[in-house]
Amino acid sequence: MTPEQIAALPYRPCVGIMLINPDGLIFAGQRIDSPVPAWQMPQGGIDAGEKPSQAALRELAEEISVTADQVEALAKSSDWLAYDLPHDIVPRIWKGRYRGQKQRWFLFRYTGRDDQIDLNTAHPEFSHWRWIAADEMLAAIVPFKRRIYARVIEEFRPFLA
């Protein structure tokens, strides 16, 4: 695909979830499809007819087995945040239909136990996980998402360790 073709593509509507523990540390999962360190927070597409808040709770359940009764909603981003995929990835991801994602971010406090987080889901996305500080999360994310993560961390900073 040419840069012009990619620029003409829409963004995929999506949610991002910052899940924090009672100490204000952030859930970070190592992507299962990456041979190199690629830590990220849960995220995923919004289904037709689904509200972003519903998508956020569904994604938590689908990706890490965390259910609505195990979280406390704290905040959501004031705006949608978009990022572009690197051009070489666009044709391989989502069948080349999107240039990147526009995300509404949600902040939840995890009220469950660590042993209740289960990555062995129907469609695993993470190989392992850990709780990390905001600065470490920012350093661990792939470069093309770093600007979005910096904005999310800035907005949710009052809740973080």
Low-confidence ranges of the chain (pLDDT < 70): none
Q: For residue 156, give the nearest of 73, 66, 44 by alpha carbon.
A: 73
150 exposed, middle or buried (CB, 10 Å; 0-12, 13-18, 19+)? middle
Q: How far apart are CA 96 and CA 125, in angstroms?
A: 20
d(CA 69, CA 107): 15
pLDDT at 6: 95
pLDDT at 144: 93
Distance CA 88, CA 79 (A): 28
Token pair in block for residue 130: 């850990």
- DSSP-assigned letter for residue 97: -
Q: Which residues pair with 67 in a beta bridge?
A: none
Counting Cα atoms < 13 Å in the Cβ hemisphere of 52 gives 20
- Is 68:77 a contact under the CB 8 Å cutoff? no
User: What is the pLDDT at residue 55?
Assistant: 98
pLDDT attached to residue 107: 98
pLDDT at res. 140: 94
Q: DSSP 3-state helix, strand, coil percentages of the chain (rounded to 5)?
A: 30, 30, 40
Q: What is the pLDDT of residue 34?
A: 86
